[in-house]
Amino acid sequence: MIPGSFSYHRPTSVADAIKLLADLGDEARPLAGGHSLVPMMKLRLATPGHLVDLHGIAGLKGIRRDGNQVVIGAMTTQHELLGSDEIAKSLPILQEAAALIADPQVRYRGTIGGNVANGDPGNDMPALMLTLSASYRLEGPGGARDVAASEFYQGAYFTALEPGEILTSVSIPAPASGHGHAYEKLKRKVGDYATAAAAVVLTVSGGKVASCAIGLTNLHETPLLATDAAKAVIGTSLDAASLKKAASAAEAIMSPASDARGPVEYRKHVGGIMVVRALQRAFGRAK
């Protein structure tokens, strides 16, 4: 339970952090809230020789509106998401999901940047980012680039981040006002990662689903966008047959690990149930 030895660095600008990461090479890792990285270090599953702490960089914090985009600095904590009026108004699904992450201690330290950059299939925010068509600003020795969340996740703990790059912000197009949303998460106990979870954002017109996006957490080695499941409900009033179709289409793309949270068939089955529950709750909330 004691990490290996490492050097600690605390830059005060993104440029300095990038330079440190470039100079120190493979041995260096950015440190955000530390609530995924430090447990891995204590288990010696990660043994970085250098930690580049991002807390001294003021520009990485905060939530702002830029036209139709909500821009969230990477070092914004889950607790800050929960307290934000802008998020409550534009992106309430982020608050619903953040409230289901671990416990207040973790939420005070854990950041949105760390949660989405980590690449852990169990993290809750990545599937929401796919559902909301978010993009990530990555800055590194080669400059800045924007990568769609849908292009970012390549495998468990394997992302589009290049060596020396830092994720500096997340941009999310604000969904239409009156949209319905829900994040349904089955977990073994309070504070646990998802056994299966589903995010839904939809709009309703004339009593029928007009648009819909569905994301899945911890049901594959990467977060998933359940496109066929969403198509199955568009144009319907969420009758039993279309809900069943959506659950089957979502289950067809799931390939969860068999682990302490349950065998594959169980996790796929409850994954389908999370999709149905999230669709129903989002539909009920849409105006």
Binding site for ligand FAD (CB under 6 A): 29-37, 39, 54, 74, 101-102, 106, 109-111, 113-115, 117-118, 123-125, 161, 166-167, 191, 193
Residues in CB range of 76: below 8 A, 6 or more apart: 61, 62, 63, 111, 112, 113
User: Quick check: helix, strand or coil at residue 153?
Assistant: strand
Provide, rounded to whole angstroms, the least separation between the CB of residue 211 and ligand FAD.
26
161 to 147, 149, 193, 248, 266: CA distances (angstroms): 9, 12, 24, 33, 33
Provide, rounded to whole angstroms, the least separation between the CB of residue 230 and ligand FAD.
22
Q: Which is nearer to ligand FAD, 17 or 232 (CB)?
A: 17
Q: Which is nearer to ligand FAD, 32 or 219 (CB)?
A: 32
Q: Which is nearer to ligand FAD, 165 or 251 (CB)?
A: 165
CA atoms within 13 A on the CB side of 203: 9
Q: Which is nearer to ligand FAD, 76 or 90 (CB)?
A: 76
- Our CA angle for 45, 259, 114, nearest 5°, is 45
Q: Which is nearer to ligand FAD, 41 or 233 (CB)?
A: 41
Q: Please identify which residue in the block is written with the tokens 């400059």.
A: 143
- Our CA angle for 251, 255, 257, nearest 5°, is 130
* CA separation for the pair 135, 148 (Å, rounded): 4
Provide, rounded to whole angstroms, the least separation between the CB of residue 44 and ligand FAD.
15
Number of residues in the chain: 287
Provide, rounded to whole angstroms, the least separation between the CB of residue 278 and ligand FAD.
16
Provide, rounded to whole angstroms, the least separation between the CB of residue 245 and ligand FAD.
29
Q: Which amino acid is at 15?
A: A
* CA separation for the pair 247, 269 (Å, rounded): 9
- Our CA angle for 138, 139, 143, nearest 5°, is 125
Q: Which is nearer to ligand FAD, 114 or 272 (CB)?
A: 114
Provide, rounded to whole angstroms, the least separation between the CB of residue 178 and ligand FAD.
28
Q: Please identify which residue in the block is written with the tokens 């660095």.
A: 9
Provide, rounded to whole angstroms, the least separation between the CB of residue 35 and ligand FAD.
3
Q: Which is nearer to ligand FAD, 20 or 210 (CB)?
A: 20
269, with CB counted inside 10 A (0-12, 13-18, 19+), is middle
